[in-house]
Structure 1
Amino acid sequence: MTLTLTPAERAARDLAALDDTEFGARLLASSPVHEGRDHALLRAWAAAAADFGRSLPPAPPLAARVVERDGGLALGMLARYRSRPATVELYTDAIAAAEDLVDRLGWRALYPESSVRAAALAHEAAHEQLHHGAGKAGLKRALGHVVLSLGGRRVYGHVAGADEIAAHARAAREAGLGRSPLLLAEALAATAAPPPGPATEQPRDRRGRRRK
């Protein structure tokens, strides 16, 4: 059966024409600290972060407790890590919506059945690797963002968002995905966003102020 896609779904499907490095660069560009930075530099950092994430060794089992709940669509996320106590929240409504979107867009070859949940868990496990031990320092070296150089010594700086790209790349490898979860995340955001226009705006008074 051929599905009839909405305009938003057709636009989301067209996102697959972009490469995963572009989605990584977009993620970096969304951070205010990268405002004004050359897009080519952001793409280079995104590619380096993804390569580092794919090179990470198999992650140990998650130390955090896993809890399933609703509310992810409203938050715009599939999962969230909370440190106190160490808990991974899996948002079942967002995961189900992502799986449904994969079917509607014909992306099942890219995101196998039930892989969204597996990728979300692998993503959080990758963050544990990146936040402790050699993973954090290794990512900085891989990015090559030198903030201080004294003699033969270099100090590498933090690149905001690079750990997210690395974790997504690690999750894609772990869950057997054909594309980065960043593509699916952007497609899900594009189809879940409310339509623009006056209907989405609050009423205004005669002076143009929003009415409370």
Structure 2
Amino acid sequence: MTVVRATPATWHPDDIDHAVRLLAATPTHEGRDPDLLRQWALTATEFGASLPATPCHARIVQLQGGLDEGLLARYTSRPAPTLTLFTDSVQLAERVIAENGWRDWYPPGSVRAAALAHEAVHAQLHHGPHRARLKRALGHVVLRFGRRRVYGHVAGTEEIAAHAYAQVTCGLGRSPLVLTTALSEHLNLPPLTHSDRREN
């Protein structure tokens, strides 16, 4: 699949709006300044898009039942890293893409590829040095000791970064957030997620 490296100038405004809405709906962000949420959304998007490509090392399992749980994929780290792809959700996503004429944005097979890319970068953001780098980029200072600053976690930004990473590495014309929003509206459910991460 051809990789189309997006740049800040090419982000579709609606994609950033979707990211802002994701943050606004995330607990701990109630009452946050909308401009701050937009700044965080754009920073997380740019950060995710800039990350180097990395393979998904988790064992891949394909099952039905994702629509019942509102999931496209689920990652578990124990007893062994496993990524479960819910084939019913993937099939519905492909149908929604076709019905909306979005095939130029989401080529055949890209839903599965995006889910794998999404999880691969989540592992980096959860366990690797990119987590600290993202915190610094967001600039959310929670504590100061003289010249030292402690940067806090901004809930929801890792998800936005992972979506941006998937968009870039899979050559998608629009963010996967657009697709997950359309799926949730189709099913009249809360936003369908690429990942319900479980670490135990």
**TM-score interval (norm. to shorter):** 0.7 to 0.9
Whole-angstrom distance in 1 between the partners of 2:49 and 2:13: 20
Q: 2:6 aligns to what? A: none
Query: In the alignment, which of 62, 70, 83 is matched to residue 77 of structure 2?
Result: 83
Q: 1:146 aligns to what? A: 141
Query: In the alignment, which of 82, 94, 110 is matched to residue 89 of structure 2?
Result: 94
Of the structure 1 ranges 87-96 and 21-30, higher mean CA displacement relative to structure 2 is found in 21-30
Q: Which residues of 2 match residues 118-133 of structure 1 at below 5 A?
A: 118-133=113-128
Query: In the alignment, which of 185, 188, 198 is matched to residue 183 of structure 2?
Result: 188
Per the TM alignment, residue 136 of structure 1 is displaced from its structure 2 partner at its CA by 0.6
Per the TM alignment, residue 32 of structure 1 is displaced from its structure 2 partner at its CA by 1.8
How many residues align? The count is 177
Q: 1:179 aligns to what? A: 174
Q: 2:44 aligns to what? A: 49
Whole-angstrom distance in 2 between the partners of 1:117 and 1:32: 28
Higher RCO structure, 1 or 2 (CA under 8 Å, sep 6+): 2
Whole-angstrom distance in 2 between the partners of 1:171 and 1:96: 18
Normalised by the length of structure 2, the TM-score is 0.85
Q: 1:67 aligns to what? A: 61
Whole-angstrom distance in 1 between the partners of 2:22 and 2:65: 22
Percent identity between the two aligned chains: 59
Whole-angstrom distance in 2 between the partners of 1:142 and 1:80: 27
Query: In the alignment, which of 129, 134, 143 is matched to residue 129 of structure 2?
Result: 134
1:158 aligns with 2:153: yes
2:165 partner letter = R
Bigger Rg, structure 1 or 2: 1
Normalised by the length of structure 1, the TM-score is 0.80
Q: Runs ≥4 in structure 1, deviation > 3 angstroms?
A: none
Per the TM alignment, residue 18 of structure 1 is displaced from its structure 2 partner at its CA by 5.6
Whole-angstrom distance in 1 between the partners of 2:178 and 2:13: 9
Per the TM alignment, residue 158 of structure 1 is displaced from its structure 2 partner at its CA by 0.3
Q: 1:19 aligns to what? A: 14
**What do residues 7-66 of structure 1 show as CA deviations (whole Å, max 9, x unaligned)?**
xxxxxxxxxx9611111111111112111111111111111001000011111x322111
Whole-angstrom distance in 1 between the partners of 2:101 and 2:13: 16
Whole-angstrom distance in 2 between the partners of 1:160 and 1:19: 21
**1:108 alignment partner, SS class:** coil
Whole-angstrom distance in 2 between the partners of 1:68 and 1:148: 44
Whole-angstrom distance in 2 between the partners of 1:182 and 1:157: 24
**What do residues 124-172 of structure 1 show as CA deviations (whole Å, max 9, x unaligned)?**
0010111122111011011111111222211110001110000000011
**What do residues 94-118 of structure 1 show as CA deviations (whole Å, max 9, x unaligned)?**
0010011001001111111111110
Q: 2:107 aligns to what? A: 112
